[in-house]
Amino acid sequence: MRTTPIALCWRKRDYTMAVEMLNAWEEEAVAMKRRDLMKDETQAISEEMLKGTLKPDMDRRKRKNAIRTAVESVRHGR
C-alpha cells in the first residue's frame, strides 16, 4: 500500500498540531508548578494525551486537574 503525498501532508499536520498542543500543556504545567518539569513528568502528560484523558476541547478546570494529576502521579518520594 502506497502512501500518497496528501496523506503524508495530513499526517504531518496532525503531528504538528499534537506537538503544539503538548507543548502548550507542558507550559501550563510549568506555570502551575513554578519550576521546570522533569522528563518523567512530561512523559506522564503525553501518556495522558495518548490515553484520551487530555483533550483539546476540555474545560479549563478539568484540563488543569488532569495535568496536575498526571504530574503528581510520578512524583518521587510520595
User: Where exactly are the structural domains of the chain?
Assistant: 5-72
Residue 4 has pLDDT above 80, yes or no: no
pLDDT per position as a tens digit, 38-57: 999 999 999 999 899 998 89
Burial class (CB in 10 A: 0-12, 13-18, 19+), 29: buried
Considering the entire predicted model, what is its pTM?
A: 0.79
User: How many Cβ atoms sit within 10 Å of the Cβ of residue 67?
Assistant: 23
pLDDT band for position 15 (cuts 50, 70, 90): confident
Q: Residue 3, SS3? A: coil
Taking the C-alpha atoms of residue 54 and residue 30, their distance in angstroms, rounded to an integer, is 16
Do 9 and 16 contact (CB within 8 A), yes or no?
no
